[in-house]
Chains A and B, each alone.
Chain A
């Protein structure tokens, strides 16, 4: 598991959604979003690019630690 800190900025939700995919269940996505939880699927091969994109959008990422 990786923990990433993203500085808040306008349009961050859209940026994350643009660079990820929804989970299989639309109902679960909506239910979690109602409780202000955003759950998405990223491609492992695109992880570095996505984090760079968030960084490029002004959301500098900061990896706290990694554990398996």
Chain B
């Protein structure tokens, strides 16, 4: 998978999205998570390196020029990009964090209204040795009609509840690398090469 491939796609139309401290509005187009991967040697053995870059691809060029050719220029979200490596037998799981409090029990409408975000640090109590991952959550709006603007992960990975009887669902992508057996170290250790002095 050396070439970029879209793992997930979300159609946008007047879609609001919060990115860091910014507020973005997307016209018709699609939000995607592009990925590519390759096998590379490392000190510990062979590894699969995976790169993920979310982006927005508008359906039409932003600027209409009558002279120059109009190209669709994707907007890349570097802040949500990541590169990591996987050892043989490891799977990369990509999903979203917990949705905004209690909203997952209701239909999460795209027709949302801005409110003030508050950063909350969430300690991983079940895994003390693991890194503390901060989660930016937004305070519930004072007006129940108002819903906070979603971030990239929730837009891409959350499927809102379609009815009161059915819960929202998280999409989880599982990337399972395949390393050709010839590239894996053998079960038996290779014989030590003796230096031939003669």
Chain A residues at the B interface, C-beta cutoff of 8 Å: 1-9, 12-14, 16-18, 20-26, 28-45, 47, 68
Contacts and interface: CB of A to CB of B under 8 A. Distances in A.
A55 to B, nearest CB: 13
B76 interface: no
Contacts, number: 160
Which 8 pairs show the lowest CB-CB distances between chains A and B? Answer: A36-B153, A26-B131, A37-B153, A2-B174, A8-B104, A36-B151, A18-B126, A33-B133
Interface string B128-150: 00111111100000000000001
Contact of A40 (B89, B93, B158): B93
13 contacts: A1-B173, A3-B173, A4-B174, A5-B171, A8-B158, A8-B168, A35-B152, A36-B154, A37-B152, A38-B96, A39-B52, A41-B86, A44-B90
Interface of B: 7, 19-20, 52, 77, 79-80, 82-86, 89-99, 104, 122, 124-127, 130-136, 150-154, 156-159, 167-176, 178
B126 A14 contact: yes
Contacts of A37: 80, 94-97, 152-153, 156-157
A22 B92 CA distance: 10
B133 A30 contact: yes
Contact of B91 (A18, A47, A68): A47
Given A30-B131, A34-B135, 12 more contacts: A2-B176, A5-B172, A8-B98, A9-B167, A12-B170, A28-B82, A28-B83, A29-B133, A34-B151, A37-B156, A43-B89, A45-B89
Given A2-B176, A6-B170, A36-B153, A43 B126 contact: no
A7 B90 contact: no
Given A1-B174, A8-B167, A36-B135, A17 B80 contact: no
A43 B127 contact: no
Contacts of B151: 34-36
Contact of B134 (A12, A25, A34, A39): A34
A5 B168 CA distance: 10
Contacts of A13: 97-98, 122
Contacts of A47: 91, 174
